[in-house]
Chains A and B, each alone.
Chain A
């Protein structure tokens, strides 16, 4: 299919005999938001690690825009436009918020040592453009006033926002968001939902791992439930969530259990 952004097929990964992903498959259509839920230890974050090239799987096949990306170094996958965020926000603590943001931009001439010294004019002009873009995105996430603070001094929720904002600097076509709502207070969470919807309208595809089910239901076009490293159920979010097997995966099996 031409409009398929990501296709993960039968991916397996075990860590020392413990199977983290056991034949996991998943599809993301262009422009769609896919929700990914499952109990702790289901393999959600490992799946992100494998898709983004941070962990090499034992078997399987991953296509991004029809191109095989399995085995590719993580930095090259990011350059193709598949960018991930981390579950625990990884801010560059000793760099300012603005520096964090500017790092995210792709195709920077000044990142090459000889050009940074010999093409000062070109690098300066590019820096100016990158800074404008960074400030625009910071504005979008209400972080502009924190621009010159060390990223290490932000609150947990702000770090989460910065993490997403920084990923957007890389102009991704597909964004993997690992628990974007964790540590974000409810008032801020509503604003975040709005923002994610705006990003979707702009054509960005996303996969969202999230434990807070209401947010997932509010955003996803399609929902996958992972359990023990494999897809337990997938489909329309409301239908999937009322599936008895999903309920059992979270709370254990029981005769009198009601979803």
Chain B
């Protein structure tokens, strides 16, 4: 039972970090990133590949974050001068292209066989038996650090400029703010945070494969952000906990159904979908969102 609880904390925590990166982009800057999973994949693969080649593990994590941030910034520079929906198309395309490159660049990534047997932080010190418990602690610590960083930024004048761009970019520009630069910064930082979650995911899974990074992962992050209330960091974390809570508790339900395994896992997704629809009907602003913000017309 403890193992099970630890595994929920690990997945929910890792996905909360992942979704916090998206919340910075969507909730604060209003940027439509539909390829967020790509940056998680960059984090996981860069960390694993570098550490397998003898690079110290923390440097490898940092390298993944920097590379993901740079990739995000480049996509932003290329598309943000166009209409905002172009970013959505380009990012979802990027995430699929990246997945296929990872699948087919076998000499580097071993393709769909995936990578395993790579080092994990402090694995010799902690030992294999308690490793997940240790990693859960590490994930919670990283989550709290990311949360504190994002909250400090959200309350700073920098965050104020981001919110103004989300509400009406022309106003920000008319008051001397370089909106383009802020949007690129938000994409880069959000992508680096996604990469960090990717490194942690790799440590947890002990095995990574390009198909861990399907487009649906991006939309899990979207659900977490919207469920909790866009632009609310605590809401995003709560959204991650809830979504993973649903995934885990409905798993027990499968035992009581006399469906075939594939039908009962589909039934589970239907149930989760219904719960989400219900929640959005009763609290359209998200669990911790502010109702006033929805009722304000433009």
Contacts and interface: CB of A to CB of B under 8 A. Distances in A.
Interface of A: 52, 54, 73-76, 78-79, 83-86, 90-95, 99, 102-104, 106, 108-113, 116-117, 123, 127, 150, 152-153, 166-167, 169-170
A102 B159 CA distance: 12
Contacts, number: 107
Given A92-B168, A93-B167, A95-B167, A102 B176 contact: no
Contact of A103 (B149, B156, B175): B175
Nearest to A102: B160
A90 B170 contact: yes
B152 A111 contact: no
A83 B153 CA distance: 27
A65 to B, nearest CB: 16
A127 to B, nearest CB: 7
A94 B296 contact: yes
A88 to B, nearest CB: 10
Interface string B175-198: 111110000010001000000000
A170 B153 contact: no
Contacts of A166: 171, 175
Contact of A92 (B167, B189, B297): B167
A112 B158 contact: yes
B150 to A, nearest CB: 11
Contact of B163 (A94, A104, A106, A123): A94
Contacts of B171: 86, 90-92, 103, 166
Nearest to B158: A116
B297 A116 contact: no
A132 to B, nearest CB: 15
Given A90-B168, A111-B161, A170-B175, 16 more contacts: A54-B174, A78-B174, A83-B176, A90-B171, A92-B171, A94-B163, A102-B157, A102-B160, A103-B161, A103-B172, A108-B157, A110-B156, A113-B189, A117-B152, A152-B297, A167-B175
Contact of B174 (A86, A102, A152): A86
Nearest to A81: B176
Interface residues of B, number: 31
Contacts of A85: 174
Nearest to A78: B176
Contacts of A54: 170, 173-174
A54 B233 CA distance: 34
Interface in B142-162: 149, 152-153, 156-161
B164 A92 contact: yes
25 contacts: A74-B173, A75-B178, A75-B179, A78-B173, A78-B176, A85-B174, A86-B170, A86-B171, A92-B163, A92-B171, A94-B163, A94-B293, A95-B167, A103-B172, A103-B177, A104-B175, A111-B157, A111-B160, A112-B158, A116-B156, A117-B152, A150-B293, A152-B296, A153-B296, A170-B176
Contact of A150 (B159, B292, B298): B292
A191 B159 CA distance: 35
Contacts of B163: 92, 94-95, 99
A251 B279 CA distance: 57
B153 A113 contact: yes
Interface string B100-135: 000000000000000000000000000000000000
A116 B149 CA distance: 11
A105 to B, nearest CB: 8
A104 B175 CA distance: 6
Contacts of A127: 157
Contacts of B293: 94, 150
A31 B126 CA distance: 73
B174 A79 contact: no
A112 B157 CA distance: 8
Contacts of A92: 163-164, 167-168, 171
Nearest to A106: B176
A83 B157 contact: no
A103 B160 contact: yes
**Looking at B160, B175, B176, which has the most chain A CB atoms within 10 Å of its CB?**
B176
